[in-house]
Amino acid sequence: METPKKIIIKGLVQGIGFRSFIHYYALKYDISGYVRNCPDGCVEVAGKGEESNLNKFIEHISMGPPGAHITEINISDLKDNSINFERFRIIR
């Protein structure tokens, strides 16, 4: 079963193309959901897809793009049923 995940990425993760980097891998692994910058400087991702694809997606985004410096990643099951998982989008 596809359990949506919430991923919070902390560190130097804004202003370096991180959301586009995540969007690329979401499309590559057929992940639906969103990515957005948070006011506190972290990046939040909600993702849903086949378990093996979701694991590969998380593995890739955990490395970050060039210029990123990730200090912490928190992954949890997402229980918010109001999220539209029809496609992956970057929230501005």
Nearest to 89 by CA among 41, 55, 48, 54: 48
Domains of the chain by residue range: 5-91
Residues 85, 50: Cα–Cα separation, whole Å = 13
List the catalytic residues.
Answer: 19, 37
Where does the pLDDT of residue 1 fall: very low under 50, low under 70, confident under 90, or very high at 90 and above?
low
pTM equals: 0.93
Per-residue pLDDT of 32-86, as tens digits, reads 999 999 999 999 999 999 999 999 999 999 999 999 999 999 999 998 777 888 9
Residue 20 makes CB contacts below 8 A (sequence gap 6+) with 90
Given CATH 3.30.70.100, say whether it is the number of domain 5-91.
yes
Nearest to 4 by CA among 65, 66, 49: 49
